[in-house]
Amino acid sequence: MSSGRSAIAGIGATEFSKQSGRSELRLAAEAVLAALDDAGLAPGDVDGLVTYSQDANQEIAVARETGIGDLTFFSRVEYGGGAACGTVAHAAMAVATGAASAVVCYRAFNERSGRRFGQPNAGLTGEPGSRGLEMSWHVPFGLMTPAAWVAMFARRYMHVYNARSEDFGRVAVAMRRHAATNPAAWFHGRPITLEDHQASRWIVEPLHLLDCCQESDGAVALLVTSAERARDLRRSPALITAAAQGSSSSQMMMTSYYRDDMTGLPEISVVGRQLWQMSGLTPKDIQTAILYDHFTPFVLAQLEELGFCGRGEAPDFLKDGGIELDGHLPVNPHGGQLGEAYIHGMNGIAEAVRQIRGTAANQLTGITNVLVTAGTGVPTSGLILSRD
C-alpha cells in the first residue's frame, strides 16, 4: 500500500498489568475510547474497526460497548503477532479507497489473568485443517510452545554464525534498560545486567527466561484516518509512509524447519523490500526501529533481513550498546515486549507514533522516520511512519 494519504491520528492504551482482572471486552473498549479522546473524536465519528483473528472481541461487540454507530468497514488480520502492522495497513487501505473515513485498530489481551498465552496445547494436532497437519509433525514429540519453536532457530543461528547466548542477552539488557526509564512499562525501574540474563533459568535451551517476552493484560488502539483530516485533529499525525504484509516460500507457523536455510526470517525480507520500495527510503533513513521482540534471537535476524547489517553480523551490531538509546540504531525505546508489555506488538506502533510526535518517555532527537515490524516466524507485516 502506498502512502501519504493516511495517518495515525490517535493512540490509546490501558494500563499494562500482569493481572488486571478486567474482561478483554472492557480492556478493548477502554483503549478504543482513549484513542478517540487522544484524537479529539467521538465514537460516532468512527465507521471502521480492524483487529486480529485471535482477538476475543467481535467488532460489533466493541462498537456496542463504546457507542460506535454504523460500521461500513471491518476486517480481521491473521497470524497472531504478525497481524499488528497489518491492521494499520487494512485501515489505511479502507481510508484511501473511501470504504471508511475513520478506522480504529485494536488488540486486547487478558493472557495473564485469563488464559495464559503460549502454553503447551496438544490439541493443536487434532485440528482437521492444514494447521493441524503441520503441527502433527512436531507437537506429539514435545515441540509444543513458541519458545521451543524459536529455540530450534536460535540453535541453528548460533551454529552457523558462531553466535553466543550473550549476543541474545544484549537484546534483553537493552530492552530492560529502556523499560526502566519508561513509567508505563511493567519493568519500570528494573533494569538487568548481562549477568542477570545468563543466570536466569532455562526455558528451552538456548533460551533463558530473560530471552522470552512477558505475559500481560492490557489493550492498545490506534485511530487511522486521512492525512488531511488528521492535520485538523488534536494531535500531530504520524503519516503512514509505507505498509506491507508478506509471507515467504515454504512458510509455516513459527516452524519453517524445512527450508534450505533456517538461520533467517525471509518473510521479514519480503516485507522489508516492499517498505523500502514504497517509501523510497533505505535503512540509513531510519532513526529508530520498533522491532517485534517476543524472543531475543528474532531481533538479530530482523536487523539482518531489513538491511541494517549483513547476514551473521547482528552480534557485532549489538555490541557496545548498538541498539540502545545512544547507539547507532536505537531499538524499542519504550522497552518493547520484553520490557514494557506484550500486547502482540500494538504497543510498539503506539511508541512509534509517540516518537514521531516527540512525546515518548525516552524521546529521541531528530526523528523523521520510524520502522515498525510485527510478529516474526509467521506471515508478517511492517510499517514506516513519518513526521508530517
pLDDT digits (tens, 9 = 90+) for 246-302: 999 988 888 888 888 889 999 999 999 999 999 999 999 999 999 999 999 999 999
Q: Report residues of the chain scoring pLDDT below 50.
A: 1-4
pLDDT at 127: 66
pLDDT at 177: 98
Neighbouring residues of 101: CB distance < 8 A, sequence distance ≥ 6? 45, 47, 48, 95, 225, 226, 229
Nearest one of 352, 214, 381 to 290, comparing CA atoms: 352
Nearest one of 118, 197, 141, 189 to 164, comparing CA atoms: 197
pLDDT at 114: 59
Q: Is the residue at 153 inside a domain?
A: no
E strands, 111-216, in order = 202-204, 207-208
Q: Is the residue at 379 inside a domain?
A: yes
Total of domains in the chain = 1
> Which cell numbers in the block locate residue 55?
482477538
Q: Is the residue at 30 inside a domain?
A: yes
pLDDT at 110: 85
pLDDT at 3: 44
pLDDT at 184: 97
The 3-state DSSP class for residue 51 equals strand
| Structural domain boundaries, residue 320 | 6-114+213-387
**Burial zone of 29 (CB within 10 Å; 0-12 exposed, 13-18 middle, 19+ buried):** buried
- Global confidence as pTM: 0.95
pLDDT at 1: 43
Handedness of CA 246, 249, 252, 257 (dihedral sign): negative
Q: Is the residue at 128 inside a domain?
A: no
Q: Is the residue at 283 inside a domain?
A: yes
Return left, alpha or beta for 364; rule: phi > 0 is left, psi -120 to 50 is alpha, else beta: beta
List the CATH number of the domain containing 241.
Answer: 3.40.47.10
Neighbouring residues of 238: CB distance < 8 A, sequence distance ≥ 6? 7, 8, 352, 353, 356, 357, 370, 385, 386, 387
pLDDT at 118: 61
Mean pLDDT of the chain: 94
Q: Is the residue at 40 inside a domain?
A: yes
pLDDT at 143: 85
Neighbouring residues of 56: CB distance < 8 A, sequence distance ≥ 6? 24, 25, 108, 110
Q: Is the residue at 350 inside a domain?
A: yes
By annotation, the residues acting in catalysis are 292, 342
E strands, the chain, in order = 6-13, 48-52, 73-77, 102-110, 202-204, 207-208, 217-226, 238-246, 288-290, 369-373, 380-387
Q: Is the residue at 307 inside a domain?
A: yes
Instruction: Calculate ∠ Cα 83-88-93, nearest 5°.
Output: 120
pLDDT at 371: 98
Give the Cα separation of 361 and 358 in Å (integer).
9
Nearest one of 53, 82, 32 to 348, comparing CA atoms: 82
pLDDT at 124: 64
